[in-house]
Amino acid sequence: MTDFDARLAGLERDLAAQGERVLDLCTRTVESYFDLDQEKARAVIAADDEVDRIDVELERRSVPLLGLGVTDEHRIREVLTIVKVNNELERIADSAVVVAEHVLEQGSLPERIPPTFRVMANSVLGVLRDSVRAMARKDAALARQVLLFDDTIERFKREILLHAQEQVALGHFSVHFAFRLMAVVKALERIADHCTNICEQVIYLRSGFIVRHRPEGWSEPAAPDA
């Protein structure tokens, strides 16, 4: 095994571990919101420091590999994928922190969390879990399945927005609660968006094809532009 291969394999293992770390962080932040558990929310915010540390470490270890003289296109794509996915994972963790911060700010509220929100939150966690697995296994088929779920997350968001507006109009939700709810929903949507980006990178790594999104939804990968 060459020095390049050994260092690349180490990066891939550590990136997979970072993916699991971020998945655990997001799971705990959703639980903290469901339960209004401020102690768990504080633990999520504190744990983000480790995600940030690993993020910087992985990037510092990745960039020098490009200077080792490897010319094989697939091997170069592997390094670039690590750098890009690493960045997406760090941003997912940032969104988890946003949710945790809202738990600390809102305290105990009398309003009930809409059932659709629970479905959306659990769906986003499922999307993140599959994205982490697709990344670790370099599984383009699983990555495509994640992309096909993107419209469902968007539909959940619209339903929650409409429900919140209706409940505010009826006096069942305070404006404060509705505002906090929508901020958390947008943070979850951002997590799903970053998962989409990760899966696009997995497909690019495996095939060299660029995944394109169109107004009508996700399409099959297109060949790179000439």
| Domain limits, the chain | 3-214
Element (H, E) at 218: strand 217-218
3-state secondary structure of 217: strand
Q: Are 23 and 78 in contact (CB under 8 A)?
A: no
Domain 3-214 -> CATH class: mainly alpha
3-state secondary structure of 56: helix
Determine the Cα–Cα distance for residues 57 and 7; give it in Å rounded to an integer: 13
Q: What pTM does this model have?
A: 0.89
Q: Are 88 and 192 in contact (CB under 8 A)?
A: no
Pairing mode, strands 217-218 and 213-214: antiparallel
How does pLDDT run along the chain (226 residues), one tens digit per residue?
789 999 999 999 999 999 999 999 999 999 999 998 999 999 999 999 999 999 999 999 998 998 888 888 888 889 999 999 999 999 999 999 999 999 998 766 666 788 899 999 999 999 999 999 999 999 999 999 999 888 899 999 999 999 999 999 999 898 888 888 999 999 999 999 999 999 999 998 887 766 655 434 444 544 444 3
Closest CA to 165 of 153, 178, 155: 178
